[in-house]
Amino acid sequence: MRILVLIAIGLLLYVIIGNLLRKSRPPSPKEISEKMVQCQHCGLHVLEHEAIQSGSNYYCSQEHVDADK
């Protein structure tokens, strides 16, 4: 009976410590999401920081910016 109680206490400590460590870790790059925008010319979806913005429209390349002007 004493062994079962020790195993239960050990398992409980393992779960509690695991949760505390998971919460204190900074988010991984996969967990950080970024907004996707659609190219006004071809419809391709690209990350907002990679897109070229012209006015209120986003484009996937400079060629598409020039083509829409």
**Tens-digit pLDDT profile for residues 6-65:** 999 999 999 999 988 887 777 666 656 789 999 999 999 999 999 999 999 999 999 999
Domain residues for 61?
2-67
pLDDT of residue 33: 74
Q: Please spell the DSSP secondary structure of 14-60, one letter per residue.
A: HHHHHHHHHHHSPPPTTT----EEEBTTT--EEETTTSEEETTEEES
Supply the pLDDT for residue 12: 97
pLDDT at residue 68, rounded to an integer = 86
State the pLDDT at residue 32: 65
Name the burial class of residue 60, with classes exposed (0-12), middle (13-18) and buried (19+) by CB atoms within 10 angstroms of its CB: buried
CA-based nearest residue to 60, from 48, 68, 51:
51
pLDDT at 6: 96
Domain count of the chain? 1
